[in-house]
Amino acid sequence: MESDKRLYLLGNEAIAYSSVEAGLEYASAYPGTPSTEILETLAKLSRKYNFYVEWSVNEKVAFEAAYGAAIAGVKSLVAMKHVGVNVAADPLTTSAYTGVNNSFVIVSADDPSMWSSQNEQDNRYYGLRSYIPVLEPPTPYHIKDVVIEAFKLSEKFRHPFILRSTTRLSHIRVSYEFNEPRRDIHRGPLDIDPARYSVIPAHARRLRVDMLARWSEIERYFNDAWFNWVEGDGDKLIITSGFSYSYVVDAISKLDIGDVKILSLSGMVPLPKKLVLEAVEDVDKVLIVEELEPIIETHIKSLLYDTDVRVEVVGKEIIPLVGELTLDKVLDAIAKWLELDIKSKDLNIDENLPVRPPAFCPGCPHRGTFFSLRKAVNRSGVKPIYSGDIGCYSLAVLPPFKMQDTIVDMGSSIGLANGFAHILPEEYIVVATIGDSTFFHSGITPLLNAVYNKSPILVVILDNRVTAMTGAQPNPGSGYDAGWEETIKIDIKKVVEGLGIEYIAEVDPFKIRESEKIFRDAVEYVRRYRRPAVVIAKRACTLLIAAWARRRGIEIPKYDVDVDKCIKCGICYNNFTCPAIYPDDEGIAHIDPALCVGCGECLDICPTKAFKPVSEWSDEFKSLWW
């Protein structure tokens, strides 16, 4: 390979470029922070380097698609955030039994501290429970080498490999030297082996024995692999896992404590036992630094006990079990371990960052949907239970809306609503709110269950035509594929009709008063007939449309306030909470032209019609909406 150019990339982008260098031929994913940029980057590179890329409808489908490609003999990758692996757990476990016919790399982007997730599970456990090896880069500069190694080892052992990242590694910036890959595309013929890939019980019993043999072989390889190493010297040993190594090195440097031996494990599942035992020779105390769960700590303590090695081992006693590691946390832990009278606060710069609560974007159609839905439900005289879901609309859990009583996982809005509907008294109305991408991901099955079991629920599908929360990726309802090429557009209304829903209505979230009436009718239908009803709120993500307008030089409509008509009621800035609308010192509403995206929702919410258009929607602007 000849060096092409040096790039400045996000960690996720570096994972994508490294996969291309490794010879990637098939990639699939479902968007989810902190993993999204991996497939977005691969989609941009796919045409030039001739490999297939897709946004799949959910993580299980994405996994199975890439798994199938690897069985067919091509180098494959599937990427997802940590909770997405839960969705793919069924085929994940079986893939270790069958193995593959080429590379199969599973990227799990974990999210310590839950910056954009409902939990902070440590997916190294999936490697342990599924017998799938786990690799994790120790520094940003090791991303390229570790990714390429994952492809090489997966091909070598014909076994899936997990590449674990974390939010810090996924979103860090790194200098990257990209080398043009040699393209040797494989396209069959498929040499299928039913005794290996048809996992009936008789086959699975034999496959498990084969899998355990590969597992032992991989462990032996990890003992001498370049990505597991010992550095430094002394009678004190720090064992680190993955990116924790970076914090340890920086902390030791800041503490200026001289020689401490470090065992860095980038391949920690399976645990390289021989290497660990060699590292603990002639040391009198060991500190284990790993992010989240005590995975290597538990296994190392067990190993030392079984081999009758008596050395003091400290881990989660002083390394936090909650939240992502930081230099401060690791520095304080090492100082405590070494009994040094030093605190990280003595070495740091005090940072006073302003608090910025999350809110719907200016012009977000979800704001109009929740505003009109709440008015309709309140005026219907029923007690609402709002079963929420994962997406931008999760923000409705916050004031002033407070319309997400539960948020558990993708598709849980309709799933939990099924349970609520058959338990709560009839004076309650159960309202499930779910986005278009989430509906395609895992909302169809629980809606079918609602039809089959006659669950009296109102399902509101917020169709903004993209997977907006993760950066506006296309989904089956967008009519575009991963590369933004036109493809078949799946009509949500037809899908709902096909499931047997009898009451289906559509609303435009920008038309507040019309929407309120339709929501009231839907609530009445559910109460009277004790059947599920569906309302689809259709309006594309406004920020995406505004960005398209700016790029194409199309004027965005503007609005203003007639201050003589404003009665300072505060509905627009206290109840509707559009960020582009703000009060002056006297409470009179004004519009910030820098934030206004021209949606026009404000026209319908003001009781005195104080908002007025400065410029109307042009035909060119209207043409952008789909």
Cα(30)–Cα(9) distance, rounded to whole angstroms? 21
Range 228-346 has CATH code 1.10.10.10: no
Q: What is the mean pLDDT of the chain?
A: 92
Q: What pLDDT is stored for residue 346 in this prediction?
A: 65
DSSP per residue over 508-568, as a string? -TT-HHHHHHHHHHHHHHHHHH---EEEEEE---HHHHHHHHHHTTPPPP-EEE-TTT---
Lowest mean pLDDT among 14-23, 31-40, 89-98, 469-478: 469-478
Strands, E, within 114-258: which ranges? 134-135, 161-166, 173-179, 228-231, 236-241
Cα(113)–Cα(167) distance, rounded to whole angstroms? 9
DSSP state of 443: I
Ramachandran region of residue 179, left (φ > 0), alpha (ψ -120 to 50) or beta?
beta
Q: How far is CA 138 from the centre of its chain?
A: 22
| Domain limits, the chain | 3-223, 228-346, 365-540, 548-623
Tokens of 227: 């990505």
Cα(517)–Cα(375) distance, rounded to whole angstroms? 9
pLDDT tier at 342, thresholds 50, 70, 90: confident
pLDDT digit string, tens, across residues 358-385: 889 998 999 999 999 999 999 998 999 9
Q: What pLDDT is stored for residue 310 in this prediction?
A: 92
Q: Does residue 352 carry a pLDDT above 70?
A: no
pLDDT tier at 3, thresholds 50, 70, 90: very low
Cα(77)–Cα(59) distance, rounded to whole angstroms? 12
With contact defined as beta carbons under 8 Å apart, do 247 and 272 qualify? Answer: no
CB hemisphere CA count around 577 (13 angstroms): 18
Choose between 498 and 183: higher pLDDT: 498
What is the reported pTM? 0.90
Start-to-end C-alpha separation, the chain: 44
Q: Does residue 1 carry a pLDDT above 50?
A: no
Listed in sequence order, the residues at least 6 apart from 569 whose beta carbon sits closer than 8 Å to its beta carbon are 607
DSSP per residue over 338-406, as a string? TT----GGGTSPP--PPP----PPTT-HHHHHHHHHHHHHHHTT-EEEEE--SSGGGGGGSTTT---SB
- The b-or-e profile of 434-447 (16+ CB within 10 A means b, else e) is bbbbbbbbbbbebb
Query: Do 228-346 and 548-623 agree at the fold level?
Result: no
Q: What pLDDT is stored for residue 350 in this prediction?
A: 52
**CB burial class (10 A; 0-12, 13-18, 19+) of residue 307?**
exposed
Angle at 46 between CA 43 and CA 52, to 5 degrees: 90
Tokens of 468: 């907006």
pLDDT tier at 141, thresholds 50, 70, 90: very high
**Domain covering 548-623: architecture:** 2-Layer Sandwich (3.30)
Per the listing, tokens 């940029």 go with 37
pLDDT tier at 2, thresholds 50, 70, 90: very low
CATH number of 3-223: 3.40.50.970
pLDDT tier at 277, thresholds 50, 70, 90: very high
Q: What pLDDT is stored for residue 312 in this prediction?
A: 93
Listed in sequence order, the residues at least 6 apart from 295 whose beta carbon sits closer than 8 Å to its beta carbon are 122, 124, 125, 128, 241, 268, 269
Ramachandran region of residue 326, left (φ > 0), alpha (ψ -120 to 50) or beta?
beta
The mean pLDDT value for 238-262 works out to: 90
Closest CA to 319 of 286, 283, 288, 285: 288
- In this structure, how many other beta carbons lie within 10 angstroms of the beta carbon of residue 255? 17
Which SS3 state, helix, strand or coil, does residue 99 take? coil
Q: Does residue 444 carry a pLDDT above 80?
A: yes
Cα(377)–Cα(535) distance, rounded to whole angstroms? 13
Q: Does residue 179 carry a pLDDT above 90?
A: no
pLDDT digit string, tens, across residues 514-566: 999 999 999 999 999 999 999 999 999 998 898 899 999 999 998 999 999 99
CATH superfamily for domain 365-540: Thiamin diphosphate (ThDP)-binding fold, Pyr/PP domains (3.40.50.970)
Q: What pLDDT is stored for residue 351 in this prediction?
A: 58
Cα(51)–Cα(48) distance, rounded to whole angstroms? 8
